[in-house]
Amino acid sequence: MNTALSADPSETPCEPQAAAGTAQAPGRSAEQRAAHETNKLSKRLHRQVGAAITDYNMIEQGDKVMVCLSGGKDSYGLLDILLSLRQRAPIDFSIVAVNLDQKQPGFPDHILPAYLKGLGVDFHIENQDTYSIVKRLIPEGKTMCSLCSRLRRGILYRVADELGANKIALGHHRDDFLGTIFLNMFFGGKLKGMPPKLVSDDGRHTVIRPLAYVAETDLERWAEHRQFPIIPCSLCGSQENLQRVQIKNMLREWDRKHPGRIDNMHRAFSQVVPSHLMDRQLFPFETIVPTGLADPAGDKAFDEDEDETCATPTPAPLGEVAVPMEFVRRPRD
């Protein structure tokens, strides 16, 4: 584990979005340029995860954090960065990695134990044949993910209790947050996203998502750099027509054609204006009356629709601001 790297507040917020291979200072070799880009990536990931943990008070003194490890790039990256941050955090907390082996045909059950033993991290492999249950209950050709997810959730809650873990860390990243809100808008008729921190539906656990500020493309690059032993996610059969895959492709295309759009949409999650939506449970539309006092947030009924981006400089993406970095660096004695 590389625990020497920490966030550099002097790093320009816009620089991390540049792809590897961007023009560098003359005289550098290809290896030096690649090392420079990897160094920037590491700093950005550690800073963003540290900022999310701090912003939402995800991890506190004495916590036992159960990191759910699937074998994909996201959960590998989450565990990797949390282990690194723990070395420098100003608080003490413990980590236990948990994998649920659902007995999918072809699942390489030796990979994760070998990897985790090599790290020296506490871990637990839970063996439960949910695959057979899902195959028995879901008709051929139908999506299995919903039932599989519900079964997995209940098992992991139980395992958290048995291990004494009070926090459950999941590897959902920035793009998952955006994908969820669009799925709910397009197919569920709700303006509902994915919370960075919330009490679980059984009321007994706190679920945290420390990768809330992290772009999926950065996790892909980090997985390649760290050479995680990725386990394919298609063991349960091809699911290429899933609605979430369609949303992901849409977001990737937007990001390719309109750089910065994804960051702006993600930032909107934390800048909600309830009075300018339509939810009567969030804003008392039925009871509002004129006060006679000017309010810059009031309705500008005869103006054209506002385009605030034309007048307002775009701030740095979430997690890119010059940091509360107390979670990333342990103060010197």
Each residue's pLDDT tens digit, 126-176: 999 988 888 888 787 677 777 788 888 899 999 999 999 999 999 999 999
For residues 298-315, give the mean pLDDT: 59
pLDDT at 197: 97
The domains of the chain, with CATH numbers, are 31-269 (3.40.50.620)
Residue 14 labelled as part of a binding site = no
Whether residue 8 has pLDDT greater than 50: no
Q: Over the stretch 49-63, which tens digit does the pLDDT of each residue have?
A: 999 999 999 999 999
Q: Is 148 annotated as a binding residue?
A: yes
* Torsions phi, psi for 101 (to 5 deg): -85, 105
pLDDT band at 15 (very low <50, low <70, confident <90, very high): very low
Q: How much of the chain exceeds pLDDT 90, in percent? A: 54
pLDDT per residue as tens digits for the range 250-270:
999 999 999 999 999 999 988
Q: Is 236 within any annotated ligand binding site?
A: yes
